[in-house]
Amino acid sequence: MPPLITTNFITLFLIVIFIFTFSANSQDSDLETDCTNKWIHIRHLPPQFNLDLLSNCSEYPLFDNFCPYLPNHGLGQKTHNKSHSWYRTDPFMLELVFHRRMLEYPCLTSDPSHANAIYVPYYGGIDSLKYLFGPEVNSSFQHGLDLYDFLAHVDSPNIWSRNYGHDHFLVMARPAWDFSQPLYNDPIVFGTSFLELPEFYNVTALTLEGRAYPWQEQAIPYPTSFHPPNLAFFESWVNRVRRSRRNTLMLFAGGGGISANPNIRRSIRLECENVTSMSANGTGYQKLCEFVDCSNGICEHDPIRFMKPMLQASFCLQPPGDTPSRRSTFDGILAGCIPVFFEDLSAKKQYGWHLPEEKYEEFAVTIPKEDVVFKGLKVFDVLTSIPRAQVRRMREKVLEMIPRVMYRKHGSSLGLRSKKDAFDIAIEGTLERIKSRLQEVAAQ
| 307-363 pLDDT tens trace | 999 999 999 999 999 899 999 999 999 999 999 999 999 999 999 999 999 999 999
Instruction: Provide the pLDDT confidence category of residue 189 given band limits of 50, 70 and 90.
Output: confident
Say yes or no to pLDDT of 46 above 60.
yes
Alpha helices in 55-93 (DSSP H): none
8 Å CB contact between 216 and 417: no
Give mean pLDDT, residues 392-401. 98
8-state DSSP, 261:
S
Alpha helices in 256-357 (DSSP H): 264-275, 304-311, 328-334
Neighbouring residues of 364: CB distance < 8 A, sequence distance ≥ 6: 338, 339, 340, 341, 347, 394
Do the bridges between strand 365-366 and strand 338-341 make them parallel or antiparallel, or are there none, so unpaired? parallel
pLDDT of residue 194: 95
Of the two residues 64 and 117, the one the predictor is more confident about is 117
Q: Please name every residue paired with 118 in a beta bridge, in sequence order, or none if there are none.
A: 41, 168
Q: What separation in angstroms does the CA of 29 have from each of 12, 36, 38, 408, 423?
A: 24, 11, 11, 21, 19
8 Å CB contact between 293 and 255: yes
pLDDT digits 0-9 by tens, 249-300? 999 999 887 888 899 999 999 999 998 878 888 888 999 999 999 998 899 9
Instruction: Provide the pLDDT confidence category of residue 35 given band limits of 50, 70 and 90.
Output: very high
Say yes or no to pLDDT of 1 above 50.
no
Strand order in the sheet with 204-209: 40-42, 117-119, 168-175, 204-209, 217-219
Q: Is 45 helix (H, G, I), strand (E, B) or coil?
A: coil
Q: Rounded CA gap, 266 and 281, in Å? A: 26
8 Å CB contact between 350 and 219: yes
pLDDT of residue 201: 94
User: Is pTM beyond 0.85 here?
Assistant: yes
Q: Which of 248, 270, 251 is nearest to 259 (CA)?
A: 270
Q: Rounded CA gap, 258 and 27, in Å? A: 57
pLDDT of residue 14: 52
E-strand spans in 88-228?
117-119, 168-175, 204-209, 217-219
Say yes or no to pLDDT of 9 above 90.
no
Instruction: Provide the pLDDT confidence category of residue 40 given band limits of 50, 70 and 90.
Output: very high
Q: Rounded CA gap, 269 and 10, in Å? A: 43
Report DSSP letters for 209-252, one per residue: E--SS-SSEEE-PPP-SB--SSHHHHHHHHHHHHH----EEEEE
Stretch among 13-22, 233-242, 243-252, 270-279 having the lowest mean pLDDT: 13-22
E-strand spans in 111-203?
117-119, 168-175
8 Å CB contact between 257 and 390: no
pLDDT > 70: percent of the chain: 92
pLDDT of residue 31: 45
Q: What separation in angstroms does the CA of 66 have from each of 12, 62, 90?
A: 18, 11, 8
Domains of the chain: 40-224+422-443 (no CATH), 231-404 (3.40.50)
8 Å CB contact between 96 and 73: yes
